[in-house]
Amino acid sequence: MDLPSISGFIGSLLAISTPILLIASLELLVQRSGVINLGVEGAMLVGAFTAYVVTLYTSSPLLGLLSAIALGSLVSILFAIMAVYMRLDQIVVGVSISMVSIGLTSYLYRLIVGYGSPPKIQSTLIDALAPFLRSIPIAGDTLFQTPLTPISLALPIAFWLLLGRSLVGAIIKASGEDPSRACRLGVNVAMVRTILLALEGIASGAAGALLSIGYYGSFLENMTAGRGYLAVALVILSSWSPARLLPTVLIFSLIEVAQLRLQASGIIEIPYQLALSMPYIFTLAILAISSGGKKAPRSLGSSEYEC
């Protein structure tokens, strides 16, 4: 392979890994604090939809991104109210929020756009953010389509440091391992979890915006298609370690790139349904392999604790 095609390959690899890495990094912190949030699928979809509609009406992709971040964190805070404060089952709350998000975005999309083919937005997030990227050294805008990509690569490293060597990291881990004890020592466990969830909502909203107004230029019903669930599963597969998360996500993105290239080359014919169901298949396979891992935060999935 010559140099341009290698950089093209890495570019598409990073394009695929960025949204998943953004969500998975924050989901890792959230899970380390004892919460499993399947609502990220919904937050991502709401982000994708909001970014599209706002950009369509204001022609400003940056405004689209900001609104996606706002609504993404709103969805996440809704999850926190039900799962952290009302102590409803985390998995059921996450699944329900994602289902309602699919329905609500499809409904509002039909209401706003109707049943015809969707209008494409004029200028994408990638166009809007290009000037920033030129300032990044080492082939900024050939590898990184938006600043979200270098951020997504930096997050696992930052969180590795955060969890390993800071008081905040210790508080997060304590909330996930023994919330009752953490609470008795003066940690506001519910608040720790809620703040992390709100941050995860920001990441999910941004990841969704990247799909709709970054890569695709439009919105499709259920366009996140299981990527949020996959991000949750990849956290489990990497045994809740930020150091393992980065390579794990990159390997899965590599598989996806290979699959897309194979499909485009026409060497073997893959039914499009199989390609679309990949995130769900991987998620299920990871659940089968890694469930009940000994390294899981001890109170993961349970919102019950005493103080």
Q: Which residues bind other proteins (CB under 8 A)?
A: 38, 82, 88-89, 91-93, 95-104, 106-108, 110-111, 226, 229, 271, 273-274, 276-277, 280-281, 283-284, 287-289, 291-292, 301
Pure H helices in 135-166: 140-143, 148-165
Give the span between the Cα atoms of 172 and 177, in whole angstroms. 9
Tokens of 192: 């720790």
CB 228 within 8 A of CB 48: no
Q: How far is the CB of 60 from other proteins (least distance, A)?
A: 24
Which of 12/106 has CB closer to other proteins? Answer: 106
Give the span between the Cα atoms of 97 and 78, in whole angstroms. 9
Q: How far is the CB of 278 from other proteins (least distance, A)?
A: 10
Which of 89/177 has CB closer to other proteins? Answer: 89
Give the span between the Cα atoms of 267 and 152, in whole angstroms. 33
Q: How far is the CB of 296 from other proteins (least distance, A)?
A: 10
Give the span between the Cα atoms of 160 and 152, in whole angstroms. 13
Which of 159/229 has CB closer to other proteins? Answer: 229
CB 192 within 8 A of CB 33: yes
Which of 111/138 has CB closer to other proteins? Answer: 111
Tokens of 26: 């924050």
Which of 265/272 has CB closer to other proteins? Answer: 272
Which of 97/163 has CB closer to other proteins? Answer: 97
Give the span between the Cα atoms of 237 and 230, in whole angstroms. 10
Q: How far is the CB of 94 from other proteins (least distance, A)?
A: 9
3 state DSSP class of 217: coil
What DSSP assignment string belongs to 172-216? Answer: HHHHHH-HHHHHHTT--HHHHHHHHHHHHHHHHHHHHHIIIIIII
Q: How far is the CB of 5 from other proteins (least distance, A)?
A: 32
Pure H helices in the chain: 3-32, 40-58, 61-80, 90-113, 125-134, 140-143, 148-165, 167-177, 179-184, 189-209, 227-237, 242-265, 272-290
Q: How far is the CB of 195 from other proteins (least distance, A)?
A: 23
Among 18, 256, 273, 34, which Cα is nearest to 154's? 18
Q: How far is the CB of 7 from other proteins (least distance, A)?
A: 33
Which of 30/206 has CB closer to other proteins? Answer: 30
